[in-house]
Amino acid sequence: MEKVKVGLIGCGMISEIYLKNISEVFQNLDVVAVADINLESAQTRATQFNIPKACTPEELLADEEIEMIINLTIPSAHAPIALQAIEKGKHVFMEKPLAVTREDGQKVLQAAKEKGVYVGSAPDTFLGGGLQTCRKLIDDGWIGEPIGATAFMMGSGPEGFHPNPDFFYVEGGGPMFDMGPYYLTALINLIGPIKRVTGSARATYSERTIQAGPRTGEKIPVEIPTHIAGVFDFENGAVGTIITSFDVWGSQLPRIEIYGTSGTLIVPDPNNFGGEIFVKRKTDHDWSVVPLTHGFKENSRGIGAADMAKAIRTGGANRASGELAYHVLDVMHAFIDASESGKHVDITSGCKRPEALPMSDESEFTR
């Protein structure tokens, strides 16, 4: 199958694992150029991964050889860059979230539809061996019909390790928009789309202190909620609970648990691709560890882009789709809307539950 020519925009921290995996694992992608507003960053990545061209984002978008953009910029730049790329007839895969606002997310999807191009978005961790094994367990009826789920992401914030954490504390950031996509995407993959939410949210601290890098000690303002608790209804009737927080110094809560009519499933960290899975059915006296049935158990960021490249060549649907990412974006905003209004919020968007990956077949995107 002919490789898809890729241009990557945004050469920050996350770009290294994308480029490593594309160069070593995902053989249906060919990165021909990288770009960043800091040209030195682009040149560093180009040298590191033997990429022919380092340039500005404007130059990369104008390159007619490039078929697909991987957009790894900060959240506020996701939609503007995607719209520019789509206007030039290029497919776009981006880091999460799809956009900062619902309006911009809708513009991206509508523009892609009009141009006949694909849109995809992280997180793609749900395509890893851990969450795909959980998907198979549920689909095969190991815990019966799912009736409920819990999801918890509890931490003290990225300023402890990130040298430039400002974007985590403005619109499009915070624990819900930064980490919520991993949890909500995993749950939609396992159970299905969401139809109604409610929630409460607060910002505990008005400012944060950077603790890593050259800006250590600098204080940055907090403009968004940093502790969000929500309850939501899936279309199939199951009820979910979620907490995302940057205000917690320690927690022993599970990452994700799925409760069914015949048992309970403990799901690994949805920010990772592998992890341990435990199941306890109603006839069991204790938990059992379930071996992973699927490949891509290590850090496989970029698998969503590789899956989209396969769809571009074959005409199929990509699993980490724009529709899925918009549904997640809509749900995340709804938790904040519910907190501000004091009411349930009905979700008007929808998406198809992504197609499961084949068992143990790591050649899906590697040839």
Q: For residue range 211-250, list pLDDT tens digits in order.
A: 999 999 999 999 999 999 999 999 999 999 999 999 999 9
- pLDDT given for residue 367 in this prediction: 58
**Segments of the chain scoring below 70 in pLDDT:** 360-367
Given CA atoms 166, 167, 171, 172 in this order, what sign does their dihedral have? negative
> Are 183 and 253 a contacting pair, CB within 8 Å?
no
- pLDDT given for residue 364 in this prediction: 67
Instruction: Give residues with Cβ within 8 angstroms of 15, minimum separation 6.
Output: 8, 34, 45, 72
Spatial separation of the C-alpha atoms in residues 31 and 68, rounded to whole Å: 9
- pLDDT given for residue 361 in this prediction: 59
Tell me, letter by letter, the H, E, C secondary structure of the chain.
CCCEEEEEECCCCCHHHHHHHHHHCCCCEEEEEEECCCHHHHHHHHHHCCCCEEECHHHHHHCCCCCEEEECCCHHHHHHHHHHHHHCCCEEEECCCCCCCHHHHHHHHHHHHHHCCCEEECCCHHHCHHHHHHHHHHHCCCCCCEEEEEEEEECCCHHHCCCCHHHHHCCCCHHHHHCHHHHHHHHHHHCCCEEEEEEEEECCCCEEECCCCCCCCCEEECCCCCEEEEEEEECCCCEEEEEEECCCCCCCCCCEEEEECCEEEEECCCCCCCCCEEEEECCCCCCEEECCCCCCCCCCCCHHHHHHHHHHHHCCCCCCEHHHHHHHHHHHHHHHHHHHHCCCEECCCCCCCCCCCCCCCCCCCCC
pTM: 0.95
Tell me the C-alpha to C-alpha distance, in Å, between residue 312 and each of 77, 93, 97, 131, 354. Answer: 24, 12, 22, 24, 16
Structural domains of the chain, with CATH: 4-121 (3.40.50.720), 129-290 (3.30.360.10)
